[in-house]
Amino acid sequence: MIIVLKRDATDAQIDHVVKKVKDLGLSVHLSKGSERSIIGAIGDEAVLTSTPLDAFPGVEKVMPILKPYKLVSRDFQKEDSVIDIKGVKVGGKQVQVISGPCSIENKSILLEVAKEVKKSGATLLRGGAFKPRTSPYDFQGLGEEGLKYLREVGDETGMPVVTELMDPRDIDLICRYADVIQIGARNMQNFRLLKEVGKTDKAILLKRGLSATIKEFLMSAEYIASMGNRNIILCERGIRTYETATRNTLDLSAIPVLRELCHLPIVVDPSHAVGRWDLVAPMAKAAIAAGADGLMIETHANPEEALCDGAQSLKPNKFDRLMGELRRVAEAVDRTL
């Protein structure tokens, strides 16, 4: 950690900081410059982060050198992690496509769309039984009934299933039915939820929060990993910016940045990012070209009647055409799909 002192910091102030750093067990290199004096604190930086050195008299700013996440970092593990979900490998050469409706409405609709997307090449089935809705007056999901349908349809079509956990009290219920537990964007810093899924051995699909930095995103992954579960898939799904032409701004540069910092697989959800079905195709192609390990694309047999997010859902025939286009892009970057 580098501690930059104010121009007019007194010797007593400097000594006070130096003493504190030493008391915490680190060694100190003090460099007195004409413009600014600087303290280099050498040793375990973690013990310093909970000490408010930036509020000490005479301190101008504190600059950490090391990253605050460990288990999920490339420093910890050089090789890419590959998450195996009943034989579907996320993080390998094949780009995996998760598809299905936003919310589970009944079994027959779900089965219809599942068969279609499976035929088109999707390898994982998604569907929400508990829905985080902005309005208390909107459809909140079918609950356990929905989970049952999802499990049955997943089994009938041979696709592992992904569904969202919103409440730590539902952890056992979700674990009974799901192969992959999704943590939604709004819960990326719901630390209790992160700890709960960290205690399971399920694969966890962690969505980036609407205003989460890459560092915070990785810290949330670290929460899960620190509890013992390293089966984590990161999901970029658009961030909140000033631009309103799309619902959110899909941050595809997060893919190569995460790739460098972290060994976990990265999937992209263009549907939630753009919020309009007609923009999903170009952004899905771009995500693969940028290096995504997978995609999450909402589909619905009849979007006009969907109880949730109909505007961004693709009909099966449009999804099928898109999958053909995606396959070509995947091959152009030496991946399969």
Q: Which of residues 290-309 bind a second copy (CB under 8 A)?
A: 290-291, 303-304, 306-309
Choose which of 273, 296, 297, 322 interacts with a second copy (CB under 8 A). 273
Q: Which two tokens stand for residue 179?
A: 């192969």
User: How far is 245 from 213, CA to CA, in rounded Å?
Assistant: 22
CB burial class (10 A; 0-12, 13-18, 19+) of residue 197? buried
- Is 93 a binding residue for a second copy by CB under 8 A? The answer is no
- Is 226 a binding residue for a second copy by CB under 8 A? The answer is yes
Choose which of 123, 163, 187, 299 interacts with a second copy (CB under 8 A). 187
Interaction with a second copy in 42-71: which residues (CB under 8 A)? 42, 46, 49-52, 54-56, 63, 65-66, 68
Q: Residues 297, 267: contact at Cβ < 8 Å?
A: no
- Is 139 a binding residue for a second copy by CB under 8 A? The answer is yes
- Is 172 a binding residue for a second copy by CB under 8 A? The answer is no
Pick the stretch among 80-88, 113-121, 229-237, 246-254 that binds a second copy (CB under 8 A): 246-254
Q: Residues 10, 50: contact at Cβ < 8 Å?
A: no
User: How far is 16 from 142, CA to CA, in rounded Å?
Assistant: 60
- Is 38 a binding residue for a second copy by CB under 8 A? The answer is yes
Q: How far is the CB of 175 from a second copy (least distance, A)?
A: 16
- Is 191 a binding residue for a second copy by CB under 8 A? The answer is yes
Pick the stretch among 142-150, 199-207, 212-220, 316-324 that binds a second copy (CB under 8 A): 212-220
Q: Which is nearer to a second copy, 175 or 307 (CB)?
A: 307
Q: Which is nearer to a second copy, 127 or 141 (CB)?
A: 141
Other beta carbons less than 10 A from residue 44's beta carbon? 11
Q: How far is the CB of 147 from a second copy (least distance, A)?
A: 16
Choose which of 168, 176, 228, 336 interacts with a second copy (CB under 8 A). 168
User: How far are the Cα atoms of 79, 96, 170, 227, 294 from residue 91, in angstroms, in the given order?
Assistant: 11, 9, 28, 22, 8
- Is 132 a binding residue for a second copy by CB under 8 A? The answer is yes
- Is 12 a binding residue for a second copy by CB under 8 A? The answer is no
- Is 190 a binding residue for a second copy by CB under 8 A? The answer is yes
Range 298-305, long-range pairs (CB < 8 A, 24+ positions) = 298/99, 298/100, 298/101, 298/102, 298/126, 298/271, 298/272, 299/99, 299/100, 299/101, 299/113, 299/116, 299/117, 300/101, 300/102, 300/109, 300/113, 301/109, 301/112, 301/113, 301/116, 302/109, 303/277
